[in-house]
Amino acid sequence: MDDSNYLFPIGMRILAVDHDPTCLQVLENLLQTYQYHVTTTNEGITALAMLQENKDNFDLVIIDVHIPDMDGFKLLELVGVEMNLPVIMLSACHDTKLVMKGISHGACDYLLKPVRLEELKNLWQHVIRRKNPRGVVWSVELHRKFVAAVNHLAIDKAVPKKVLNTMNVENITREDVASHLQKYRLYLKRISCIANL
DNA sequence: AGAGTAATAT
DNA sequence: CATATTACTC
């Protein structure tokens, strides 16, 4: 069984803003492989107008920093802070300062071009996070990495910190793993109980 | 201090 | 129910 059929957020509405038509097209294609519902524009003004008309029309916004008609960070603030929508920033340059500026202005994430398909896979978690105060969503994919890590270490050596390191996943904490590990052990116990009957 | 885990809270 | 947080131990 592959892992391509568990993604729930089919049709999640994304507004993508990038002044470069080629990049925009590429981004749209990537997003559509996950069956997101994508709206594109190459103007910041237009994006803002669309959002102001009804911000509930979108679940997530992706903004390229370099849009000629307005400051990308200004747009980030307007959308992220005032409209309270999750915003992903995007740029071609690997300038750490820009990345930090993006994050400090409220971006959920900061992608660097070229964007890889893999990086878009977990976009929906940003949306979930808005609706669900609980931070970590143990998607099938994430759980898989967890199980792989536990198996890689011997089961009796699988403690939160080691599992976390072995998983090599950003944005989750030792506590998150500990909590999941607790649940996983209960699950294993249940399984072995049933097996021994 | 920092980590692991059982218990408890949300 | 799943995940987070607490409380206790070492």
Q: List CB-based contacts (under 7 A) with strand C.
A: A 134-138, 175-176, 178-180, 182-183
What are the pLDDT digits (tens) for A153-196? 988 899 999 999 999 998 899 999 999 999 999 999 998 888 77
What are the pLDDT digits (tens) for A2-12? 333 334 566 78
Question: Mean of the per-residue pLDDT values for chain A?
Answer: 86
Q: Residue A182 CA to nucleotide B6 C1', Å?
A: 9
What are the pLDDT digits (tens) for A117-137? 877 877 777 766 666 556 788
Instruction: Evaluate if residue A91 carries a pLDDT over 50.
Output: yes
Count of positions (residues) in chain A: 197
**Smallest CA–C1' separation from A175, nucleotide:** C4
Q: How many CA atoms lie within 13 A of A135 on its CB side?
A: 10
Percent of chain A with pLDDT over 90: 49
What was the pLDDT predicted at A55?
Answer: 83
Question: Two tokens at A22?
Answer: 């080629």
**How distant is the alpha carbon of residue A140 from its chain centre?**
14
Closest protein residue to C3 using CA and C1' atoms?
A134
What was the pLDDT predicted at A133?
Answer: 59
Is the CB of residue A32 less than 8 Å from the CB of residue A11? no
**Smallest CA–C1' separation from A186, nucleotide:** B6
Q: What is the pTM of this model?
A: 0.63
User: Which of A47-61, A85-99, A107-121, A180-194 is predicted with the least confidence, judged by mean pLDDT?
Assistant: A107-121
Q: Residue A166 CA to nucleotide B5 C1', Å?
A: 20
Q: Which of residues 105-164 of A touch strand B (CB under 7 A)?
A: 159-162
CA distances from residue A39 to A17, A28, A104, A128, A176 in whole angstroms, order as listed: 9, 8, 26, 20, 34
What was the pLDDT predicted at A70?
Answer: 94
